[in-house]
Amino acid sequence: MNLTMKFARGLLVGAAAIGTLAGSAQAADQALNIYTTREPGLIKPVLDEFTKETGIKVNTIFINNGLEERVRTEGENSPADIILTVDIGRLAAAKDYGVTQPLKSEVLEKVIPAAYRDPEGHWFGIALRGRVVYASKERVKQDKITYEELADPKWKGKVCIRSGQHLYNVSLIAAAIAHMGEAKAEEWLKGVKANLAKKPSGGDREQAKDILAGVCDIAIGNTYYVSLMRNGKDEEQKKWGEAINVILPTFEGGGTHVNVSGLALAKNAPNKANAVKFMEFMVSDDSQRIHAEANSEYPVKAGIKIHPTIASFGELKADNVSIAEIAKLRKKASELVDKVGFDQ
């Protein structure tokens, strides 16, 4: 090979290498990595819409348990850009584990009420779900109830609930502490325990199943499970969902306890600009509608159409205790569950 041919070949190899690097950079520029505890099918519609609108490819990693530990273990090499999860317990855990970073965004702050986002900008609620009462259509005639009334002896042997240590109930009990104070919340929790029809067990759907079976008359569950039961393909679960009415309970002097589905910017997000773009996209009108419809949740943005099944429960008057305050009280709530032997 003469000198001219060698030089020409060198130019081609160099051009190929530069092309590969440019392609890699372009690919990275058009990527977003989401670590999520949500079932992929539940968020796919909104992810597809984001990609359609921006051209950014979204990669999702579904981690049902231990998401925070995994991101922390990965450290600076973590590919996670966004942490997308449910319940303030998991959002607060991500912050406590040090795997999130604060974000200042006028777009997010304008849409999301202060009660549904971290004061320091580490997490943002994008949808709401109520923790409500499932009531037997056959045996319960009242259509209003307070959380305090769940401890009324008139319900003795008639209440069903999943474990008091489940994150959904820990948050509810934390809200009770915020309203009543720790001492009165303890007495209330003892009263609820005294009214249980059976030992706390199962998930929210199983509480509706037990109402249909006559095990109990009322139960505690999240709003979206009722929609999933009534509108799903499982014929047995449809019967469970149709056997109950949903009552939106309130605290005395407050409203219905709500929790959030939310997201956070990962501490070492390699595609930070894309991550911020996605977070702001999630509060757009179309995104709020698609996400709420797919998950049977309440949009966090005012004026967005609500899933018809959820809307049929009546107007949601959300409680006035901030989600951040509930996060602070979750440890006390968990300790209270053990103190009164709620699950025993």
Residues flagged as binding site for Fe cation = 224-225
Q: Which alpha helices (DSSP H) does 1-143 contain, by range?
A: 3-29, 40-54, 67-74, 88-96, 106-111
Beta strands in 189-336 (DSSP E): 218-222, 244-247, 258-265, 298-299
Say if residues 277 and 57 touch (Cβ distance below 8 Å).
no
Give CA separation, 255 vs 66, 156, 175, 320, in Å: 32, 24, 11, 7
CA dist 261 and 88 (Å) reads 8
- CA neighbours closer than 13 Å in the CB half-sphere of residue 196: 21
Beta bridge partners of 244: 136
Q: How many CB atoms lie within 10 A of CB 286?
A: 13
Kind and range of the H or E element at 256? none
CA dist 306 and 316 (Å) reads 11
With a CB cutoff of 8 Å and minimum separation 6, the contacts of 299 are 127, 128, 288, 289, 291, 292, 305, 306
Q: How many CB atoms lie within 10 A of CB 180?
A: 18
Say if residues 285 and 107 touch (Cβ distance below 8 Å).
no
CA dist 334 and 209 (Å) reads 26
CA dist 284 and 293 (Å) reads 14
Say if residues 317 and 323 touch (Cβ distance below 8 Å).
no
Closest CA to 263 of 106, 110, 80: 80
CA dist 11 and 103 (Å) reads 45
CA dist 8 and 145 (Å) reads 83
